[in-house]
Amino acid sequence: MPSQRNEMTQALEGITVLDFSQGMAGSIATMALSDFGAEVIKIEPPEGDPYRAVPQSHLWNRGKKSVVLDLNDSDAINQIRNLAERADVVIETFKPGVADSLGIGYETLKAERPDLVYCSITGFGPKGPYSDYKDYEGLIEAKSGRLMIFAGITGREGPSFAVVNVASHAAAMGAFRGIVSALMVRDQTGQGQQVDTSLLQAVTYYDLTQFILWQMMIKFPETFDFDPTTIALRASPIQYLPVRTKDGKWMQLANLIERLFRSEIFAIGLGHIYDDPRFVDAPNLVEPEDREALRRLILTRMQEKTEAEWMDLFVNEEGNVAAEPFMTATEALSHPQIIHNGIVQNVEDPTVGLMRQLGPAFYMDGSPPRIQGPAPTLGQHTDEVLKSLEIPVPPNNTTASKPPPKHPLEGVTVLDLSTVIAGPLAGSLVAELGARVIRIETLDGDWMRGGNNGIASNRTMAGTEGLSLDLKTEEGQEILRRLIPKTDVLMHNMRPGAPERVGIGLDQVRELNPDINYVYVSGYGSSGPYHHRPAMHPIGGAVAGGALTQAGRDALPPEDAEMTMEEIVEVSRVLGRAQDVNPDPNTSMVASTAVVVGLYTRQRTGKPQYIETSMIQANAYANADDFFDYEGKPPRLFPDSEGYGIHALDRIYEALGGWIFLACPMQDDWLALCSAIERPDLRDEPRFSTLEGRQENDDALIAELAPLFKTKTPQEWETELSAKDVGCVQVEDSNMFGFFDNDEHVRENGFTTVVEHKRFGKFWRYSPILNFSKTPSKAGGGILRGEHTMPILTDLGYTEDEIHALKAKGVLDWEEPAPLS
């Protein structure tokens, strides 16, 4: 660790990480650690990490050192233990118990390095009946019920394949966030600890409402009579409308907020609709026939200009309209704003040559991240790293001896002025780490409070405190001016210019608190050709490639095809259904991690940080299986037209009375499958003997497997194949609530926690995904608008009479508790 705090140039400079991970979650977590300055030593078996066989390895392994050690060799284990004595962090993705059996588990390594931070990422959690299952993304999404979110996207019944690896993305950012949180505690106390998470826990961040809505429908059936199962065949709301342009291309309109929708309508030349009694309240139309009539008006109008003409209008003339073309990830590499932001950077890879790669996940001005180099060749650094063992272990200079805090971020205060999902959910994740997060809402409340008694805000605001202020008033801004000096982090997602109008521009805030970290969670960024534009969640899906890929191979007709209006409506429906909620939470995962890394950097260097990330940047990370390019790179695989999967061995199959998900992407998986189903003929068939052969003969392999899987029930296949270490699970065909409410594995691992809300009473929520051995996470419930006004303002020096006077004047407000019954 550097001896002088201010000599550091990167956040994690001087931190050494031993990396035993394989797969997207661990690889992205350690790639990010490297980008922010850590020395990452990747331990690989003699044959190499099996993921070296996939193109993604050239991105995921960048900036690391490769050391080959055979974990079955006792001498190698001794060398690993010696390396661990010199390390700050260990990260592994073994199945539960494997690290301990090898002699490199946490209890063993901490005996020689008590301040070691040890992070484990599993597929399904550390215990329970599924703990030994394979950790492939598709298995987690199938078992959890998430695949039912896409039911109906292709018109057939049943679950559909999910393209974006959201569980891996959330677990990667969670591990990064957890490791840095534990390092903060270590530097304060001199004590390390174990941190663990799982992909099954991580996927819960993508259910913001279903879990509580179902509970409320059961608890208060007269108040909540909504049936979520009817969503499958619905078209997109008219605010989130995919449209076809004159040249046969498809664009995403994404103007959820009423003022943005009105901007869209006037920009495209349909302002006259507000003279029509049917549409005067658009987009808030009650009658279904009126909504459908307006949908067709917009779809018709958008066919009068080309995509380029519309984008020129929206970027250069009508900048208050959220719209983007549907792109692949490869196409997005050339997006003007992505290039401007440095989200794409050139890296010369020793194996594939010049690459365009993802840049770091977020920017910090005081300690900027940077790519430390290309992915190493196998064993490139073995001699160098093992030679370092000849140097005596440096003395542990940690002098901190404070007792551990109750939670990792105890004592930290965050002021959150963000809105809707991406920013508020990030604030809630930071609150799970023990920070005091104070949310500032308008007098009308955040948009997420609209409808269903404000139920949607429960997840995005869970564990936070609430103020409801009119920041257009001098008195409202004065409250902020009193809060800011008591704050460690200020976070917002306003477009450029808006923060200054309410007194929270960077310079304004730093004048009040020179040591504050300032976090901007933007749509596009603070500068560049698109920085002035709005961006709601479908923008992230359209730009980063997730939505177009999710729609499937044959979703878009040829650009020169003649289409009827009904055909256009149906393609628009499919594209809209492909836009699930993931782009906003994807952004939250990165933004919450940025808050934590910024705090640790300030703790180490004494320098406050300006931190910035964007929706397009975060969603590029969620699509990190494809967000890179090089000459000869294989194209991303799209799901088939029926939404079963991307190939025969990463796919949903119909079984007897239900569905299974099969995940056997690696050669060893294929051999295990052939053995388990007693089909040596498939193993020996030349068409199927290699990965390339199986891809070339995919339809033939599906034809062999599909009839077989119909002969047994899903549970029989799961039990039989999982026992033989083959990736296969029964697809949960209700929803995520159905799985997490009823499954014994969930209960055994404590993946849900009961909380209480002043309106909804007691209900369970998903537990925080990070488990710390010494400083546990905390789970809170949602809040009423302005619920904490009285204690917060009292702490700022306001009297009770002054607070009520401000309420009477319309400066602030709060909801009175009104429990449902």
Express each pLDDT in 77-86 by its tens digit: 999 999 999 9
Q: Are 688 and 648 in contact (CB under 8 A)?
A: no
> Token pair 């729609």 is at which residue?
551
pLDDT tens figures, 186-211: 999 999 999 999 999 999 999 999 99
Q: Which two tokens stand for residue 222?
A: 């007269």
Instruction: Quote the radius of gyration of the chain (alpha carbons, Å).
Output: 26
Model confidence at 401, pLDDT cuts 50, 70, 90, reads: confident
Q: How many residues does the chain have?
A: 821
pLDDT tens figures, 24-75: 999 999 999 999 999 999 999 999 999 999 999 999 999 999 999 999 999 9
Q: Is the pLDDT of residue 714 over 50?
A: yes
pLDDT tens figures, 564-581: 999 999 999 999 999 988
pTM beyond 0.85, yes or no = yes
pLDDT tens figures, 586-628: 999 999 999 999 999 999 999 999 999 999 999 999 999 999 9
pLDDT tens figures, 642-684: 999 999 999 999 999 999 999 999 999 999 999 999 999 999 9
User: What do you get for the CA distance between the two ends of the chain, in Å?
Assistant: 57
Share of the chain above pLDDT 70, in %: 98
User: What contacts 547, CB < 8 A, 6 or more positions away?
Assistant: 252, 326, 538, 541, 575, 578, 579
Q: Which two tokens stand for residue 632?
A: 């000869």
Share of the chain above pLDDT 90, in %: 95
Q: Which two tokens stand for residue 718?
A: 């799961």
Ordered by start, the domain boundaries in the chain are 229-337+531-580, 648-734
Q: What is the mean pLDDT of residues 338-361?
A: 97
Q: What is the pLDDT of residue 230?
A: 57
Q: Are 542 and 324 in contact (CB under 8 A)?
A: yes
Three-state secondary structure string covering 431-467: HHCCCEEEEEECCCCCHHHCCHHHCCHHHHCCCCEEE
HSE-up of residue 340 (Cα within 13 Å, Cβ side): 13
Model confidence at 4, pLDDT cuts 50, 70, 90, reads: very low
Q: Is the pLDDT of residue 5 over 50?
A: no
Sign of the Cα torsion 76, 80, 81, 83 reads positive
Model confidence at 232, pLDDT cuts 50, 70, 90, reads: low
Can you name the CATH fold of 648-734?
formyl-coa transferase, domain 3 (3.30.1540)
Query: Which phi and psi (to 5°) does residue 53 adopt?
Result: -75, -10
Q: What is the mean pLDDT of residues 148-154?
A: 93
Q: What is the pLDDT of residue 396?
A: 72
DSSP 230: G
Lowest-confidence range among 49-63, 223-237, 386-400, 563-577? 223-237
Q: Is the pLDDT of residue 212 over 70?
A: yes
Q: What is the pLDDT of residue 402?
A: 86
Lowest-confidence range among 227-241, 453-467, 491-505, 654-668? 227-241
Q: What is the pLDDT of residue 225?
A: 82
pLDDT tens figures, 310-324: 999 999 999 999 999
From CA 760, how far away is CA 755, in angstroms rounded? 10
C-alpha of 735 from chain center:
19
Matching CATH topology for 229-337+531-580 and 648-734? yes
**Is residue 672 classed as helix, strand or coil in its secondary structure?**
helix
From CA 21, how far away is CA 27, in angstroms rounded? 6
User: What contacts 670, CB < 8 A, 6 or more positions away?
Assistant: 649, 664, 683, 688, 694
From CA 209, how far away is CA 704, in angstroms rounded? 40
The CATH number of domain 229-337+531-580, selected from 3.30.1540.10, 3.40.50.2000, 3.30.450.20, 3.40.640.10: 3.30.1540.10
**By CB neighbour count within 10 A (0-12 exposed, 13-18 middle, 19+ buried), where does 286 fall?**
exposed
**Is residue 736 classed as helix, strand or coil in its secondary structure?**
helix
Sign of the Cα torsion 56, 60, 61, 62 reads positive
Give all strands (DSSP E) within 296-435, no chain letters: 323-325, 344-349, 353-358, 363-364, 413-416
Model confidence at 395, pLDDT cuts 50, 70, 90, reads: confident
Please list the alpha-helical segments (H only) found in 52-208. Answer: 57-60, 74-85, 98-102, 106-110, 137-144, 166-189, 199-202
> Token pair 């969503």 is at which residue?
231
- Does residue 283 have a cis bond before it (omega within 30 degrees)? yes
pLDDT tens figures, 419-451: 999 999 999 999 999 999 999 999 999 999 988
**By CB neighbour count within 10 A (0-12 exposed, 13-18 middle, 19+ buried), where does 599 fall?**
buried
The letter for the amino acid at 145 is G
Q: Which two tokens stand for residue 79?
A: 């060398």
Q: Are 206 and 458 in contact (CB under 8 A)?
A: no
Q: How many CB atoms lie within 10 A of CB 649?
A: 23
Model confidence at 3, pLDDT cuts 50, 70, 90, reads: very low
- 528 or 399, which is more confident? 528
Please list the alpha-helical segments (H only) found in 40-131. Answer: 57-60, 74-85, 98-102, 106-110
Strand pairing class (250-253; 323-325): antiparallel
Q: Is the pLDDT of residue 414 over 70?
A: yes
pLDDT tens figures, 450-469: 888 999 999 999 999 999 99
**Is residue 764 classed as helix, strand or coil in its secondary structure?**
strand
Model confidence at 155, pLDDT cuts 50, 70, 90, reads: confident
Q: Which two tokens stand for residue 281?
A: 């309240």
Q: Are 568 and 595 in contact (CB under 8 A)?
A: no
From CA 646, how far away is CA 636, in angstroms rounded? 9
Q: Is the pLDDT of residue 496 over 90?
A: yes
Q: Is the pLDDT of residue 16 over 70?
A: yes
User: What contacts 695, CB < 8 A, 6 or more positions away?
Assistant: 647
Query: Which phi and psi (to 5°) does residue 96 adopt?
Result: -55, 130
Mean pLDDT across the chain:
96
Q: Strand order of the sheet with strand 242-244?
A: 242-244, 250-253, 323-325
